[in-house]
Chain A
Amino acid sequence: MNISPKFSIRIYLNKESPRFRVSLLAGAGLLVVLLAALSLCAGAVMIDLGSIWEAVSQGDTQEKAYQIFMYVRLPRTLAALLAGGALACAGAVLQTVLNNALASPNIIGVNAGAGLFTIVLSALFPQWLRFSPLAAFLGALAAAGAVYFIASRTGASRMTIVLSGVAVSSILSAFTDTVLTLFPDAQVGRTEFLIGSFSGVTMDSVKLAGVCILLGIAVCIVLSYDMNVLALGESTASSLGMRTGLYRMVFLISAALLAGSAVSFSGLIGFVGLIVPHAARFLAGRDNRVLIPLCALLGGAFTVGCDILARVLFAPYELPVGIVMSFLGGPFFIYLLLRQKRGRMLD
């Protein structure tokens, strides 16, 4: 390769080089590990990794460190990693598939659908609460399907998708509010669920959803090259022999599975699904083969980071993580927008 005198431009172009991509993913992975470790230690009671190791290796179930680690910190950290990674991936997939920079699970109503179904389940059939990931998935799928149907009936302009998403979202929220009014005692129907929080998470509630999330992320990574082709636009992708309708469907289902599973245990945290894909694209470019795994890692890291702050800022009191997320994520998103000249990001 010839050495260009414009070194800075060379670096910019090297976003496409395998070495840059591997280091980026490795860096994000390291960030996840560090924040996860911190999340296991930090909280109302600080425990260091050494005593966690001691307690777990001795297996003394009566030990306080053991109990905190096994029943509070570990499920909570896993939940934040999984939910953040899932929502960020779902956001990246929706933005590509709907060809819209504003698409994200919360904005187009996918989270609202998942939330409604979860709340209905907990209000009417509390004995089946462990199936809430399934209910949330169905709700997410119904919302995504509705938005996609409206958009394709009306010609699928980018604005239509967002607007129909807002409409679907508000209908679903109205239903949610109705259910909450009629069933004030519904198990999940608390503020924490509506804002999003990991404070009540148990290993049981994360198990099934976690498997679904890992499955969804795997599907998206396996199909990431195809997502690149789909992103070229309907006519180009189909002239390259891609069954675009089928692929769009598969991607929508995957996004619904990811977002629904996350919402089932984390509640309506949404912002991570909008900003992490944009931040990731800013770092890595448009290639979904890098973007999807990067979103999974950064989404997890961002959510765990916010959850740590939620716990320690006003300890022993705790903020719902959704609030921290909006306080941190909002300004960061505005910063990204301002950095992009001429609003390029929304192209």
Chain B
Amino acid sequence: MIELKQVDAGYGGQAVVQGVTASFPPGCITVILGKNGCGKSTLLRTAARQQPPLGGQILLDGRDIFTIAPKEFARLAAVLPQSREAPAIPAQSLVLHGRFPYLGFPRRPSPQDKQIVERAMRAAGAWEYRDKYLTQLSGGERQKVYLAMVLAQDTGVIFMDEPGTYLDISHQFEILSLMRRLRSAGKTVVTVLHDLGQALSVADRVLLLDKGAAVFWGDPQSLFQSGKLDEIFGIRSHKITVDGGTEYVFRPKDATP
């Protein structure tokens, strides 16, 4: 369970979002939504201990995350970074680095670590290119390898910063279904998503940011009914039923029929 208490987040003393109070419970997918530049990623990075908050407190199971040693924190919470650097190393080596928080001196991964790596790579659908160099992989494949690394960290909390950006739609769906599986495994999943439709369909809870503050915190159904999405994004949202499932579609505010 991650709790944000009156958190101000930003860079160089300049707050981008202020006074955010929310909690991310286990077995629950929380999606942070908002327009470009509203501080979604900044808030996520702050909650994930990648940068210090400018104010307020972030608790993980009741402990201030900045009092937790870096390695211990890395055993409790993992972050899928937004940047996709591609070092010239085999995919399996990258995923093995997900076990780093568990390695003492000398840094020798145990057979158990290797098992966990294999399981993580299979779960993320990256096992088939375990021997390929990251430089040989496409963006989507690379993202799966990074996801496998995050899974190999074997944490209760997983942060993902726009995991589907620049990926083919099929890869995006694979990532969404992986999130659902993580939720069923009782993990806390916190993610920034760009696609409103995907966000509303996968989220258990939505944290909506606008003009430097949290303006909505609740389930996607109530968000849809509140009309806040239409107001903030300047659109008209509709709920439709396709193949027996609920989907959301969005049209420009002044769209003609």
Asked if A and B are interacting partners, one says yes
Chain A contacts to B: CB under 8 angstroms: 13, 16, 222, 225-226, 228-229, 231-233, 235-236, 238-243, 285-287, 344, 347
A16 to B87, CA, bound (A): 15
Question: Could you list some 19 contacts between A and B, CB below 8 A?
Answer: A16-B93, A225-B107, A231-B87, A232-B87, A232-B97, A235-B50, A236-B81, A238-B70, A239-B50, A240-B101, A241-B72, A241-B73, A241-B100, A242-B100, A286-B87, A286-B88, A287-B89, A344-B88, A344-B135
Q: A239-B48, A241-B71 are in contact. Are A229 and B81 (CB under 8 A)?
A: no
B74 sits at the interface (CB 8 A): yes
A347 to B101, CA, bound (A): 27
Asked if A347 and B71 sit within 8 Å, CB to CB, the answer is no
B153 sits at the interface (CB 8 A): yes
The minimal Cβ–Cβ distance linking A281 to chain B, given in whole angstroms, is 9
Asked if A236 and B85 sit within 8 Å, CB to CB, the answer is yes
Number of A-B contacts (CB under 8 A): 69
Q: A235-B81, A235-B83 are in contact. Are A240 and B88 (CB under 8 A)?
A: no
Interface set, chain B 41-62, CB cutoff 8 A to A: 48, 50
Which of A228, A231, A239, A242 is the one whose CB lies under 8 Å from B78? A239
B94 sits at the interface (CB 8 A): yes
Residues of A within 8 A of B93 (CB): 16, 228, 287
B140 sits at the interface (CB 8 A): no
Among B98, B100, B103, which residue has the most Cβ atoms of chain A within 10 A?
B100
The minimal Cβ–Cβ distance linking B170 to chain A, given in whole angstroms, is 26
Q: A16-B90, A229-B100, A232-B94 are in contact. Are A239 and B74 (CB under 8 A)?
A: yes
The minimal Cβ–Cβ distance linking A1 to chain B, given in whole angstroms, is 10
Q: A239-B48, A239-B79, A240-B98 are in contact. Are A285 and B73 (CB under 8 A)?
A: no
A271 to B72, CA, bound (A): 42
The minimal Cβ–Cβ distance linking B247 to chain A, given in whole angstroms, is 33
Q: A235-B83, A240-B153, A241-B72 are in contact. Are A285 and B78 (CB under 8 A)?
A: no
B131 sits at the interface (CB 8 A): yes
Among A226, A233, A239, A347, which residue has the most Cβ atoms of chain B within 10 A?
A239
Residues of B within 8 A of A13 (CB): 90, 131
Asked if A285 and B89 sit within 8 Å, CB to CB, the answer is yes
Closest A residue to B99 using CB positions: A240
B75 sits at the interface (CB 8 A): yes
Asked if A243 and B70 sit within 8 Å, CB to CB, the answer is yes
Q: A240-B101, A241-B74 are in contact. Are A286 and B153 (CB under 8 A)?
A: no
Among B48, B87, B106, which residue has the most Cβ atoms of chain A within 10 A?
B87
Which of A240, A285, A286, A344 is the one whose CB lies under 8 Å from B100? A240
Which of A238, A241, A243, A347 is the one whose CB lies under 8 Å from B88? A347
A279 to B176, CA, bound (A): 43
Residues of A within 8 A of B69 (CB): 241
Asked if B90 and A239 sit within 8 Å, CB to CB, the answer is no
Residues of A within 8 A of B72 (CB): 241
A243 to B93, CA, bound (A): 20
Among A233, A235, A236, A286, which residue has the most Cβ atoms of chain B within 10 A?
A236
Residues of A within 8 A of B90 (CB): 13, 16
Query: What would 8 more interface pairs be, CB under 8 Å, given A235-B79, A239-B48?
Result: A228-B89, A233-B83, A233-B85, A236-B97, A240-B74, A241-B72, A241-B101, A344-B88
Residues of B within 8 A of A233 (CB): 83, 85, 87
A232 to B87, CA, bound (A): 7
Closest A residue to B75 using CB positions: A241
Closest B residue to A236 using CB positions: B81
Closest A residue to B74 using CB positions: A241
Closest B residue to A225 using CB positions: B107
The minimal Cβ–Cβ distance linking B66 to chain A, given in whole angstroms, is 13
Residues of B within 8 A of A232 (CB): 85, 87, 94, 97
A236 to B134, CA, bound (A): 15
A286 to B78, CA, bound (A): 25
A241 to B68, CA, bound (A): 10
Residues of A within 8 A of B87 (CB): 231-233, 286
Residues of A within 8 A of B70 (CB): 238, 241-243
A226 to B89, CA, bound (A): 15
Closest A residue to B68 using CB positions: A241
The minimal Cβ–Cβ distance linking B180 to chain A, given in whole angstroms, is 23
Closest B residue to A345 using CB positions: B88
Residues of A within 8 A of B88 (CB): 285-286, 344, 347
The minimal Cβ–Cβ distance linking B72 to chain A, given in whole angstroms, is 7
A347 to B72, CA, bound (A): 33
Closest B residue to A10 using CB positions: B131
Closest A residue to B76 using CB positions: A241
Residues of A within 8 A of B71 (CB): 241-242
Closest B residue to A235 using CB positions: B81
Residues of A within 8 A of B74 (CB): 239-241
Top 9 nearest A-B pairs (CB, nearest first) are: A241-B74, A225-B107, A241-B71, A239-B79, A241-B101, A240-B100, A241-B70, A235-B81, A233-B85
